[in-house]
Structure 1
């Protein structure tokens, strides 16, 4: 087995853990966003823009 084949095999063998880590980070980010985002029915008090209050 030559050095090119060894490098290729190491790269391919590392893809599984890298993809798993990326999927886990994405899932954690989505979960965090869903937990911290305001609900759609939240009361949003709009403050008038200074130019509109004349």
Structure 2
């Protein structure tokens, strides 16, 4: 394999792979935070329902 072919392969496939990996890593943190917030929201809704049921 010639050097030009290697660089062409890296240009065509390497950059998209690295970019996709980077975006997935960033999104993973945001999804984890979103999961925590949804859990808190669920607890708050349950608490509000019990308060309404008491009245």
Which category of TM-score, normalised to the shorter sequence, fits these structures? 0.5 to 0.7
More helix by share: 2
RMSD: 2.1
Query: Gaps (5+ residues) in structure 1?
Result: 45-54
Give the TM-score normalised by the residue count of structure 2: 0.61
Compute the TM-score of the two structures, normalised by the length of structure 1: 0.62
Structure 1 segments, 4+ long, off by >4 Å, are: none
